[in-house]
Chains A and B, each alone.
Chain A
Amino acid sequence: MSLKRLLAVFLARNKEFLRDRAAMGWNLVFPVLIVAGFAFAFTGEPTPLYKVGVFGSNPGNGFFATDHVQFIAMDELAPAITKVERHQVDLLLDTASRRYWVNESSPRGYVLEKILLGSAQGEYTKQVVSGRQIRYVDWLIPGVIGMNIMFSALYGVGYVIVRYRKNGVLKRLKATPLSAIEFLTAQVFSRLWLIIAVAMVVFFGTNLFVDFAMYGSYLTLFLVFAVGAFCMISMGLVIAARLASEELAEGLLNLISWPMMFLSGVWFSLEGANPLMQQFAKIFPLTHMIAAARAVMFDGATLAGVMPQLLLLAAMSAVFLAVGAMLFRWQ
């Protein structure tokens, strides 16, 4: 492999993308518009439904039979406490040790505490936690960035290579000493750094006016987005391997990207969804990238904590790259 040739294609592709102001602008503006729209739409008070986490057995009577309160069974205590800190659960009860946790800045936690104390449920010891609320718009940020990465990766590589093949650019390159692996590597890395750069601009840009929560390491989050982007670029290479019709490529890309956008948890959590759908969603790299990004941002997950998702994305990338390289034809 010649680094000089690889670099030549890499630089040319970078210039092509950066100078295409319409495409570049859309890549930057589209996610910002979505975040701004949701920030505007969800600034009001959410639906007045109380959520109480229950660690241990649920007696089902007294306070536990209160109307308009959703009681959610918690398997582990530490993550459950984190949910109280993030306002994802308004109150947490440990029925075995007879303790309860409430966020001191949560109005709904305050109301629930009063109901609990007035319900003659018995003695519970108060545990106070603090932490800011995870709003829907906070929760949406990694999803929107992930979706933008997905579209940019699939279309920026898949569609562009098909267009190159159709209009003869690939045929011209084939007539040079440039090898297929040099060409593909340049395409992958050119798109990868551009996607990451755009994702960073969107991430920090939206943070200026949304001020979303971030409990984990920026470096870990960077790694999650980088590995996820790499995986989806590799997926784009599979689409681009042989097709010479832009229409067919667009159809296939839509067939992949739209289900991925709706089933990977970009817009809503899959926690309450049909278990079969939850299992199906795991075939999409976007599902794992978004889950890992949310874990880092809102649960403060460490590198070790998101390692399963990273390894899965890396394994998917290896499969996609192998298939894409094996199928690739210049013409």
Chain B
Amino acid sequence: MSALIEVDNLVMDYQGVRAVDGVSFAIERGSCFGLLGPNGAGKTTTVEILEGIKQPTSGTLSYKGAPLDASFHHEAGIMFQSTALQEFITARETLLMFQRFYSRSMSIDELISACSLETFLDRDTRKLSGGQRQRLLLAIALINDPEVVFLDEPTTGLDPQARRNIWELVRTIKARGKTVLLTTHYMEEAYELCDEILIMDRGRIIAEGSPDALLAEHFSDVVLQLPREDFTEAAQSLALTVYRGNETVDILTCTVTDTVKQLLAAGVSLDRLRVRSRTLDDLFLELTGKELRP
């Protein structure tokens, strides 16, 4: 694969704050690239620079090896984090309006089918549910049959069914050979969809790689989880790395067999023991900290 988008030393100052601080990365053609980070990390600013919506303070950005120009808008599909649509017009009319903006486009029928819009095509955009609205916005992002699709938190606020529906659509987009740039707060979503992820914090990149490679790089242990009441007093004196939650106790270990033997020796019942691998959630919290962000 070759790089479709390359970013070099991108800097964005905004009202006296450095929102993006010397960011460099490349997005491979045909991949799904995830941009993660806590609130205020600079990911939306970075994405809006890539979308051509904002101009960086400094740094370079290239698309297909050349600087962005007016033709980029013909080849990019964008689904913003929050987009209002013109009111009093239907989903179909909205699609037709956006279709007319582009020199090339997908057929409306194909989009309707791909994004499952059939049931609300003639409904006023004000009267769509959250999931319907996101599917329509995704269809709008795809209407010009784009080379690259930017999805900024596409499933925020959706129920699990609607979220999984969007995931399927993203997989379909990727299967068509399109490049996807996804920002999300849901680590499970990033793990499910992304070939490569980049984690930002305070305007800088703090980790980059495939989800599995990042997990392997940062964690060698697994988590043994027990109900709090099963964790006996004797067990509490064991030399283990333990995190106590309200209802459960997490034990981090690289040697599961030895740890299990120690727990049994301390009289701990393992009937309700659960074992899980480390997740992107763990990695995210490890890298960005657990304190609440404004």
Contacting B at CB under 8 A, from A237-273, are none
For residue B14, CB closer than 8 A to chain A, the reply is no
Number of A-B contacts (CB under 8 A): 71
Residue B83 CB within 8 A of the other chain: yes
Given A5-B100, A174-B53, A15 and B83 contact (CB-CB distance below 8 Å)? no
Judge whether A7 and B100 touch: CB under 8 Å. Answer: yes
Classify the secondary structure of A's interface with B.
Answer: helix
Q: Which residues of B contact A8 (CB under 8 A)?
A: 96-101
Q: Is there a chain A Cβ closer than 8 Å to B206's Cβ?
A: no
Q: Which residues of A sit under 8 angstroms from B98, Cβ to Cβ?
A: 8, 176
Of all chain A residues, which has the CB nearest B101?
A176
A33 located at the interface, meaning its Cβ lies under 8 Å from any Cβ of chain B in the complex: no
Instruction: Report whether A16 and B85 are in contact in the complex, using a CB–CB cutoff of 8 Å.
Output: no
Interface check A331, CB cutoff 8 A: yes
Q: Is A169 an interface residue (CB 8 A)?
A: yes
Q: Return chain A residues, CB-CB under 8 Å to B73.
A: 175-177
B100 lies within 8 A of A16 (CB): no
Chain A residues with CB below 8 A from B219, complex form:
none
Chain A: which residue is nearest B140 at the CB level?
A: A172
Contact B82 A168 (CB under 8 A): yes
- Give the number of residues in B that approach A within 8 Å (Cβ atoms): 29
Q: Is B51's beta carbon under 8 Å from chain A? A: yes
In whole angstroms, what is the CA distance A80 to B181 when docked? 76
Q: Within 8 Å CB of B97, what residues of A?
A: 8-9, 11-12
Shortest Cβ gap from A208 to chain B (Å): 30
Determine if B88 and A20 form an interchain contact, defined as CB atoms under 8 angstroms apart: yes
Chain B contact residues, majority secondary structure: loop
Asked whether A119 is an interface residue with its Cβ less than 8 Å from the other chain, the reply is no
Q: How far is the CB of A51 from chain B (nearest CB, A)?
A: 51
Chain B hits for A135, CB < 8 A = none
Cβ contacts under 8 Å, B76 to chain A: 175
- Taking CB atoms, residues of chain B closer than 8 Å to A4 are 100
Residues 72-84 of chain B, each 1 if its beta carbon lies under 8 Å from chain A, else 0: 0110101010111
Contact between chains at A175 and B53 (CB < 8 Å): yes
Contact (A177, B101) CB under 8 Å given A12-B93, A171-B53, A172-B80:
yes
Residue from B80, B88, B102 in contact with A168 in the complex, judged by beta carbons closer than 8 Å: B80
Contact residues, A1-37 vs B (CB, 8 A): 4-5, 7-9, 11-13, 15-17, 19-20
B99 partner residues in chain A, CB cutoff 8 A:
8
- Chain B residues with CB under 8 Å of A178's CB are 101
A11–chain B nearest beta-carbon distance, Å: 7
How close is B152's CB to chain A, nearest CB, in angstroms? 11
Task: Kindly provide the distance from the CB of A20 to the nearest chain B CB, expressed in whole angstroms.
Answer: 5
Asked whether B83 lies within 8 Å of A12 as measured between CB atoms, the reply is no
In the complex, what residues of B have CB within 8 A of residue A172's CB? Answer: 78, 80, 83-85, 140
Minimum distance in angstroms from A179 CB to a CB of chain B: 9
Residue numbers in A under 8 Å from B87 (CB-CB)? 16, 20
Whether B66 is near chain A, meaning CB under 8 Å from some CB there, is no
Check B89 against A167 for contact (C-beta < 8 Å): no
Set of chain B residues within 8 Å of A9, measured between Cβ atoms:
97
- Closest beta carbon of chain A to B121's beta carbon, Å: 15
Q: Closest B-chain residue to A6, C-beta based?
A: B100
B53 touches A331 (CB 8 A): yes
Please give the distance in Å from A145's CB to the nearest CB on chain B.
Answer: 25
Is B52 on the interface with A (CB-CB < 8 A)?
A: yes
- Chain B neighbourhood of A7, CB < 8 A: 100
Distance between Cα atoms of A164 and B101 in the complex (Å): 18
B86 touches A13 (CB 8 A): yes
A5-B124 Cα distance, complex, nearest whole Å: 22
Distance from B186 Cβ to chain A, minimum over Cβ atoms (Å): 22
CB distance from B73 to the nearest CB of A (A): 5
- Verify if B70 is at the interface (C-beta below 8 Å from A): yes
- What 1/0 mask marks residues of chain B from 44 to 85 whose CB sits below 8 Å from any chain A CB? 000000011100000000000000001001101010101111
Binary contact track B121-155/A, C-beta < 8 Å → 1, others 0: 00010000000000000001000000000000000
CB-CB nearest 8 A-B residue pairs: A8-B100, A167-B84, A19-B88, A176-B101, A175-B78, A16-B88, A8-B97, A12-B97
Chain A residues with a Cβ under 8 A of chain B:
4-5, 7-9, 11-13, 15-17, 19-20, 164, 167-169, 171-172, 174-178, 331
Can you list 27 A-B contacts with CB-CB less than 8 angstroms, sorted by A residue number? A5-B101, A7-B100, A8-B100, A12-B93, A12-B94, A12-B97, A15-B93, A167-B84, A169-B83, A169-B84, A169-B86, A172-B78, A172-B80, A172-B83, A172-B85, A174-B53, A175-B52, A175-B53, A175-B73, A175-B76, A175-B80, A176-B73, A176-B102, A177-B102, A177-B103, A178-B101, A331-B53
Q: Name B residues whose Cβ lies closer than 8 Å to a Cβ of A.
A: 51-53, 70, 73-74, 76, 78, 80, 82-89, 93-94, 96-103, 124, 140
- Given contacts A174-B53, A177-B70, 16 further A-B pairs with CB under 8 A are A8-B101, A15-B88, A16-B86, A19-B88, A20-B87, A167-B84, A168-B80, A169-B85, A169-B86, A171-B80, A172-B84, A175-B51, A175-B52, A175-B73, A177-B74, A178-B101
